[in-house]
Structure 1
Amino acid sequence: MFGIAKKLKAMGIVGINKRNCELVLPNNPRRLYPLVDDKLRTKNLAGAVGIQVPELYATVETEHDISRVEKMLQNRDEFVIKPVNGSGGKGIIVVVGRHKKNWIKASGDRITIMEIRRHLSNILSGIYSLGGTPDTALIEYRVHSHSIFDRIAYKGVPDVRVILYKGIPVMAMLRLPTRASDGKANLHQGAVGVGVNLITGHSCGAVCKNEMIEHHPDSDEPLLDFQVPFWKDLRLLASRCYELVPLGYLGVDIVIDQAFGPMVLELNARPGLSIQICNQRGLQHAVDWVDRYKEEHNNQIPQDAHIRSELAERLYRDLVPSAEVTETDDKEQPEIADNKP
């Protein structure tokens, strides 16, 4: 037992108690939590500084709003309904099409206007919110996953989780939906986590249900030769979120839309630790690297997001010296539209 603990410590593995006591509590002022726990506030803050997020169609705050929802949705064939203060993907409904008077969910099941009203009422009652408090529902643009993910994702929309420590990207993973996760990019529900090289965006390991894998469990497609598109833009986008909400330990979830490219989906003040498994290294060494950098630079972290993003490359080279550092080929990056969703 003590041998295992010693080995994990040498690898820099951070456990949940250490995360809470040494990363979350000292670095994340509780007064800032509402800025990330409330998805509407996060969306408004991001939009105000030009960070791209899925377009908001409507908010539902009262039972009176629910009575008007059919009119709100009459010209919408696709949309997403989610609780403002939800977590873990609970309470989210993704609508991908329409059939006569009904809509079609991502699962292929049909949903009626009465079922939508009932679901909205449940959201307002706080069934899905943190702490069970009364909540608000968002109706927003449905992200169309970039076609580059078609062969390695099951139905849903993959996302990229980037962990920032004091504003510097220190670890990242691509989360891929599976049949077991019901098309959701949630590792606890059975999605695949793929470690990401911070320099190039190439995959460097994959895990599903805490087991290392090399192929997607549904498609059997290889996962270890994949490159996340727009990687440097995406890494910079994550870095900019520290200026949005200056939490010292912050998770940034980004999706890549087929038409509009990288978008911030949400922020997380308590990002989980499974990211260490798919990257096959611990967070502690990255945290120590950032702390040393800060100490060596007059106790300062650069204010410029571009510099913080580039520091992630120095960090990765120092911590993973054997890593492939071939630069991304911008010519092979897919094009995106200039207009916003």
Structure 2
Amino acid sequence: MRWIASPWALRRAGIAGMNWRNAELIAEQNPRRFYPRVDDKLLTKKLAQAAGIAVPELYAEVRTNHDAADMREILQTLDDFVIKPAHGAGGEGVTVVVGRSGEMFRKASGALIGEDALTHHVSNILSGMYSLGGRPDTAMIEQRVIFDPLFERITHQGVPDIRTVVYRGVPIMAMVRLPTRLADGKANLHQGAVGAGVDIGSGTLMTGIWQNAPTEHHPDTHNRIAGLQIPQWERLLELAARCYELTGLGYLGVDVVLDAYRGPLMLELNARPGLSIQLANRAGLRTRVGTVDSDAPHGAPAPARVAFAMDAFRSAATA
């Protein structure tokens, strides 16, 4: 599909721009008093656990440098884990450890890191080095997700995640973010990951986008992206839809990982999801927002909202 730069043409095609997103979605749908429910990953996790929404297990939370001094005790029983800032953004400050090599820890990139370096990294998190606004932060040590082998042929080292945009409780668009060598194994489009559009109706991957250009293949594995079908798709969409009640936010990005053993796990929430998902799907958010406003079963439970979405936003190519 050829993208036309004219603002009028993009609006006609239903493409949401930044100004429209900020004014009509974020400002109108997202009360600021609810932002801590998504900006604080530790709070998000605890709210999700209380609501029965599956998340990676939390091993420890480190709030002070005194706690960080006890890292040896915290890590002595762990072989693989993730360290992340509770208020981080864009994947910054996240360290993934996949195993041990003697006294050293092996990161997802293959590099070795010592306990002292991990303790120093935690201290940096506490100082606010990776937090929004540079405020003092909390370090979370949690379960490392073992991603479903479905994605092995189209990812590089890291864990792919599935971003679903939820509007007024209805999943309206989704994409899989596939780690690449350029992104250092992270599933972050701004750092060089691939975004692959997903048909809401079936969970089937469509074409992708890499560095803002269309792509049919993963840049590192060279395997074709389109055609893979995400298992437990309806369950995954219901998990995303339930995050509407969890947060009270009408425009929400829900990041889910597909664990090989536990199935869909909610990883993070975002009150300001970006617009690149439209490029990955070759479709406009604005059109789908209009469909939800006029036709969706507002006030219905999550399964009914998901059923509506799967019918309304099914791709003709996979129908």
Per the TM superposition, whether the score is higher than 0.5 is yes
Q: Is the 8 A contact 1:206 1:212 kept in 2?
A: yes
* Pair 1:307 & 2:304 matched: yes
In structure 1, C-alpha distance between the alignment counterparts of 2:162 and 2:27, rounded to whole Å: 25
Specify every segment of 5 or more residues in structure 1 that has no aligned partner in the other structure, as ranges.
326-341
For residues 52-71 of structure 1, the aligned pairs below 5 Å read 52-71=54-73
Task: After superposing the two structures, state which structure 1 stretch, 76-85 or 201-210, moved more.
Answer: 201-210
The one-letter code matched in structure 2 to 1:160 is: I
* Pair 1:324 & 2:308 matched: no
For residues 144-159 of structure 1, the aligned pairs below 5 Å read 144-159=146-161
In structure 1, C-alpha distance between the alignment counterparts of 2:39 and 2:300, rounded to whole Å: 24
Deviation per CA, 1:157-183: give whole Å up to 9, x if none: 000000000000000001100011110
Aligned pair count? 316
The one-letter code matched in structure 1 to 2:162 is: V
Tell me the equivalent position of 1:75: 77
Q: CA deviation at 1:204?
A: 2.1
Pick closer, same or farther for the CA change 1:45–1:112 going to 2, 3 Å.
same
Tell me the equivalent position of 2:184: 182
Tell me the equivalent position of 1:120: 122
2:7 to 5, 8, 23: 5
In structure 1, C-alpha distance between the alignment counterparts of 2:93 and 2:75, rounded to whole Å: 18
The one-letter code matched in structure 2 to 1:221 is: N
Deviation per CA, 1:130-178: give whole Å up to 9, x if none: 1110000000000011111111110100000000000000000011000
In structure 2, C-alpha distance between the alignment counterparts of 1:7 and 1:189, rounded to whole Å: 29
Q: CA deviation at 1:323?
A: 3.4
Specify every segment of 5 or more residues in structure 2 that has no aligned partner in the other structure, as ranges.
none
Tell me the equivalent position of 1:334: none
SS of equivalent residue, structure 1 residue 284: helix
Tell me the equivalent position of 2:246: 244
In structure 2, C-alpha distance between the alignment counterparts of 1:49 and 1:21, rounded to whole Å: 30
For residues 11-22 of structure 1, the aligned pairs below 5 Å read 11-22=13-24
Deviation per CA, 1:174-211: give whole Å up to 9, x if none: 11000111100000011000000001011122100010
Runs of 4+ displaced beyond 3 Å = none
Q: CA deviation at 1:290?
A: 0.9
In structure 2, C-alpha distance between the alignment counterparts of 1:45 and 1:70, rounded to whole Å: 29
In structure 2, C-alpha distance between the alignment counterparts of 1:81 and 1:99, rounded to whole Å: 18
Q: CA deviation at 1:3?
A: 7.0
Tell me the equivalent position of 2:30: 28
Please give the root-mean-square deviation of Cα atoms over the aligned residues, in Å.
1.2
In structure 1, C-alpha distance between the alignment counterparts of 2:88 and 2:178, rounded to whole Å: 20
The one-letter code matched in structure 1 to 2:317 is: A
1:139 to 141, 161, 176: 141
1:43 to 42, 45, 56: 45
Tell me the equivalent position of 1:329: none
SS of equivalent residue, structure 1 residue 179: coil
Deviation per CA, 1:99-131: give whole Å up to 9, x if none: 111111001111111111111110000010011
* Pair 1:194 & 2:196 matched: yes
Deviation per CA, 1:10-56: give whole Å up to 9, x if none: 11111111111111001000000000000011000111111110000
Tell me the equivalent position of 1:225: 227
Q: Is the 8 A contact 1:86 1:129 kept in 2?
A: yes
SS of equivalent residue, structure 1 residue 250: strand
Q: Is the 8 A contact 1:167 1:246 kept in 2?
A: no
In structure 1, C-alpha distance between the alignment counterparts of 2:142 and 2:39, rounded to whole Å: 17
In structure 2, C-alpha distance between the alignment counterparts of 1:30 and 1:95, rounded to whole Å: 35
In structure 1, C-alpha distance between the alignment counterparts of 2:120 and 2:200, rounded to whole Å: 43
* Pair 1:264 & 2:266 matched: yes
Q: CA deviation at 1:303?
A: 3.4
In structure 1, C-alpha distance between the alignment counterparts of 2:113 and 2:183, rounded to whole Å: 20
SS of equivalent residue, structure 1 residue 151: helix
TM-score (norm 2): 0.97
Q: CA deviation at 1:302?
A: 2.6
Pick closer, same or farther for the CA change 1:102–1:284 going to 2, 3 Å.
same
* Percent identity (aligned): 52
